[in-house]
Amino acid sequence: MGVKGIRTALKVDFDKHASQQAGLHNRWHPDVPAYGKIANNEVVKIECLDWTGGQIKNNDSADDIKNVDLTQIHYLSGPFDIETAEPGDVLLVEIQDVQPFEDRPWGFTGIFSPQNGGGFLDELYPEPAKAIWDFEGIFCSSRHIPHVRFAGLIHPGIMGCAPSAEVLAEWNRREGELIAANTTNRDVAKPPEPQNVHAGFAAEAIKAKVGQEGARTIPGRPEHGGNCDIKNLSRGSKVYLPVHVPGAKFSVGDLHFSQGDGEISFCGAIEMAGIITLKFTVIKDGMSKMAMKSPIFHPGPVEPQFGPGRYLTFEGFSVDENGKQHYLDATVAYRQTCLRVIEYLRRYGYNDYQIYLLLSSAPVQGHIAGLVDIPNACTTLGVPMDIFDFDIRPEAEVVRRDMGSCAFAGK
């Protein structure tokens, strides 16, 4: 009777640029070649770079955030062929563990400039900013947001199987239509981007094709999941993913030490490089058996638990900050909810960008409360009070502290 260690299906190399590593890629396309094979029912470890491929540094300037090259992102690990997986199957992925690298116990949260990435509140908070988080076992804290400390609800931001050519064409069609119809001055979606495309070890012709057709990894998409940024997909969760191509061509990346519901600052989670341990099981003909159009998941029993009575919860409605009434718009309502938290917490001495970063990264609970009472959507945002080392209950005295600052970019 032996003991078998777990195979590492992909190692990353911190001394080599992400674009030079054959096990990484940064577009969704059926032709990105499989980096390796994983057996049905096998457990493997997969190493991942942070989503930017190492562009962001552990320092006190947000210049790197300001100048981040978004054509490169996200560097995903994979794709992997899962033996026996065929289109129409469901790939059950059990997240057995996620860890930062032992010698890289830190991560970052960023606020991007509207000119380069933007974020949920970028009209109000256009400055690039950054917070570095230090990991202390299961906890994290930041010199850029003092008096806060919490346990990570660690998870991958991105998991998914490759689209088929048909699925990819559909993505390009519908997102193209949105782009074509855009009359605003902001990007509403990202079309295929040949620049800085990385297609693993694909030959040049394939790589060019991936650049021209490949879907950006930024949005999650209903047909395969992708960049869902679901904070509860943590250790112990099972995820059921539709399979669209032979072998599934599964990829994973964008690991987060923690994230709040909504990941509001876009680079909002605590982004990190790390190692994920996954078990793969193929459910034959699962899409039809489970009537599945989008991924579903079953969280594990282990989460930071604050108790229902330990949240301070804010309400927001679909009336924007200019007094304009929107029709049942949960997005507008959630933005207002975030602003209500910022107004409340700034009384303790934090600047608004610190709170914006905090809301993006701490395990805040963003709920859709009411979505039918015309014209107002109502959303709530629950802030766990135990992440602060002072008392934020409304009945406690407000003491204004020197909270320092998050990192900003030089002018």
Q: By CB under 8 A, what part of segment 51-70 binds a copy of itself?
A: 58-60
Shortest Å, Cβ 132 to a copy of itself:
8
Residue choice 48, 70, 151, 202 for contact with a copy of itself (CB under 8 A): 151
If the CB atoms of residues 34 and 75 are measured against a copy of itself, the closer one turns out to be 75
Applying CB under 8 A, does 401 fall inside the site for a copy of itself? no
Q: Which stretch binds a copy of itself (CB under 8 A): 14-22, 203-211, 245-253, 313-321?
A: 313-321
CB-CB contact of 307 with 69 (8 Å):
no
Residue choice 16, 17, 37, 174 for contact with a copy of itself (CB under 8 A): 174
CB-CB contact of 253 with 51 (8 Å):
yes
Applying CB under 8 A, does 133 fall inside the site for a copy of itself? no
CB-CB contact of 48 with 275 (8 Å):
yes
Report the alpha-carbon distance of residue 224 to residue 215 in Å, rounded.
Answer: 12
Return the amino acid letter for 348.
Answer: Y
> Diameter of the chain by CA atoms?
70
The two three-digit tokens of residue 138, written as one number:
């299961």
Q: What letter does residue 59 receive in the DSSP assignment?
A: S
The two three-digit tokens of residue 87, written as one number:
């289109």
If the CB atoms of residues 22 and 279 are measured against a copy of itself, the closer one turns out to be 279
Report the alpha-carbon distance of residue 270 to residue 151 in Å, rounded.
Answer: 12
Residue choice 379, 403, 406, 408 for contact with a copy of itself (CB under 8 A): 379
Annotate 356-371 with DSSP letters as a single string: HHHHHHS--EEEEEES
Shortest Å, Cβ 205 to a copy of itself:
29
If the CB atoms of residues 21 and 258 are measured against a copy of itself, the closer one turns out to be 258
Applying CB under 8 A, does 142 fall inside the site for a copy of itself? no
Q: Which helix or strand (DSSP H or E) is residue 91 part of?
A: strand 90-100
Shortest Å, Cβ 275 to a copy of itself:
10
Shortest Å, Cβ 206 to a copy of itself:
26
Residue choice 132, 245, 282, 358 for contact with a copy of itself (CB under 8 A): 132
Residue choice 104, 126, 208, 404 for contact with a copy of itself (CB under 8 A): 104
Residues numbered 245-304 forming contacts with a copy of itself, rule: CB under 8 A: 261-266, 268, 277, 279, 283, 289-304
If the CB atoms of residues 20 and 301 are measured against a copy of itself, the closer one turns out to be 301
Report the alpha-carbon distance of residue 78 to residue 81 in Å, rounded.
Answer: 9
If the CB atoms of residues 147 and 340 are measured against a copy of itself, the closer one turns out to be 340
Residues numbered 8-37 forming contacts with a copy of itself, rule: CB under 8 A: none
The two three-digit tokens of residue 276, written as one number:
């994920």
Residue choice 380, 388, 403, 406 for contact with a copy of itself (CB under 8 A): 380
Residue choice 17, 327, 399, 401 for contact with a copy of itself (CB under 8 A): 327
CB-CB contact of 359 with 269 (8 Å):
no
The two three-digit tokens of residue 275, written as one number:
């190692």
Report the alpha-carbon distance of residue 8 to residue 277 in Å, rounded.
Answer: 9
Q: Which stretch binds a copy of itself (CB under 8 A): 29-37, 160-168, 200-208, 377-385?
A: 377-385
CA 93 → CA 156, 160, 180, 289, 364, distances in Å? 12, 10, 36, 17, 25
Residue choice 40, 67, 212, 325 for contact with a copy of itself (CB under 8 A): 325
Q: What letter does residue 224 receive in the DSSP assignment?
A: T
If the CB atoms of residues 301 and 410 are measured against a copy of itself, the closer one turns out to be 301
Q: Which stretch binds a copy of itself (CB under 8 A): 24-32, 205-213, 349-357, 361-369?
A: 361-369
Q: What letter does residue 190 receive in the DSSP assignment?
A: -
Applying CB under 8 A, does 373 fall inside the site for a copy of itself? yes
Report the alpha-carbon distance of residue 361 to residue 142 in Å, rounded.
Answer: 11
